Amino acid sequence: MIYFDNSATTLPNPEVVKVYGEVAQQYFGNPSSLHKLGSKAARLLAQSRQVAAESLGVLPDEIIFTSGGTESNNAALKGVAWQYRNRGKHIIISQVEHSSVYEAGKQLEEMGYTVTYVPVDDEGRVAPSTIEQAMRDDTILVSVMYVNNELGTVQPVKEIGDILSRYPKTLFHVDAVQGFGKLPVEPSRWGADLLSLSAHKFHGVRGVGLLYVRKGIRLSPLIIGGGQEEGRRSGTENLPGIVAMAKAMRMAKESLQRNREHMETLRHHLLSKLENFPGCRINGPQKNDSCAAPHIINFSFPGLKSEVVLHALEEKEIYLSTQSACSSRQFKPSRVLLAAGMDAERAGSSLRVSFSASNILEEVDRFMRVIEETIPNLAKIMRV
Ligand SMILES: Cc1ncc(COP(=O)(O)O)c(C=O)c1O
């Protein structure tokens, strides 16, 4: 099997799974319970918060544990919108945000907020000047992702943060779900006020993530109830998932440089082969290393529907994606690729390879051999 769908989800690291199991079995107490078992669990929760904070270079009480990227993004957008509605009702996001940001924007529009969806260039990149042009007196939030999950475009978050430092009434949220473990994630350096992560994208387990919220910022909570996470996110904490995520964060941080270089090597290797493959169009920023993430390559064989190629490759036990996993069952051309100016045919034939540090060069070569066998045959059948 060749698994090239790591932007959809990663295989949890065995050491992380072991920690998950140990905590689930041995520290099953509720961190809110006043007895000894509760205190032990609470201590473990505090340690995990410390590790997560250190991995991001922020303070422990700036971390809110959540159920993953979707919740973190919803909590950021709606939490800011509801909390600061008297300050203004205008929000800026990019046209290529993940659906958990994009759809939250749509929902806020239905609630009376105004959302500006800033356009991107043909590599899927947001120009910082477009953010500045969209700014209004009543703009309370700008949300721009770090790494685009479909094209692999790295957005100029530091430059956007620099611009926003001149607008003290506007908060800055970064969805860094696809960046952590692949590139440095530095909310303080970027001037980000809020930042989302999801553990299953960096070899943690499913159903856990975090939202960084800079000290002093208040959020209207998305989930209310027992007052856990200082009242910012109620619900009994997913302690095994949180401890496992902290472990995965530490591991990802420690091997970041090595992993990044390795995935970069894989990407360059695959790119050099695809570029020379007849009829293949590379989508996104791949020619430009400074704004391409190391792990994602998006390409099309115009004329061949993505699903057809995906299933043909699946028969050879090669797994990749047609677009973001959440939208890939919708069978319509990717909103993100259309926003980057691609026509419906190119967008409708797009494929995404996404690496993890466990992939190897031989897999890329094997993948290319299968492409060389499969694509010309499919092209013949489609022409008949
Ligand atoms: C950029 C981005 N943001 C958010 C999410 C949602 O994360 P989760 O699957 O943890 O809800 C994803 C998942 O694909 C993503 O790629």
pLDDT digits (tens, 9 = 90+) for 281-336: 999 997 778 899 999 999 999 999 999 999 999 999 999 999 755 555 666 889 99
Domain final residue pick, 254, 278, 297: 254
Rounded average pLDDT over 11-28: 98
Q: Whose CA is nearest to atom 4 of ligand 1?
A: 69
Those residues whose C-beta lies under 8 Å from the C-beta of residue 289, and which sit 6 or more positions away, are: 264
Same domain, 262 and 155: no
Give the position, in ligand 1's atom list, of the atom nearest the Cα of 68: 10
> Are 169 and 100 within one domain?
yes
In this prediction the pTM is: 0.97
Same domain, 281 and 198: no
Residue nearest to atom 5 of ligand 1 (CA): 69
Residue 157 has pLDDT above 90, yes or no: yes
Spatial contact of 140 and 90, defined as CB atoms under 8 Å apart: yes
Q: Which residue has the tokens 């909570």?
A: 221
CB 92, CB 116: distance < 8 Å = yes
**Ligand 1 pocket member 349 (CB < 6 A):** no
Q: What is the pLDDT of residue 288?
A: 79
DSSP 252: H
**Can you give the CATH number for the domain in which 25 is found?**
3.40.640.10
The domain of 75 spans 14-254
Q: Is 100 in the pocket of ligand 1 (CB under 6 A)?
A: yes
CB of 175 closer than 6 A to ligand 1? Answer: yes
Tally of domains within the chain: 2
The yes-or-no answer on residue 326 being catalytic is: yes
Quote the CA–CA distance of 203 and 164 in Å, as a whole number: 33
Domain at 321, CATH number: 3.90.1150.10
Contacts of residue 306, Cβ cutoff 8 Å, sequence gap at least 6: 300, 322, 323, 348, 349, 350, 351
163 shares its domain with 50:
yes
Domain-terminating residue out of 194, 229, 254: 254
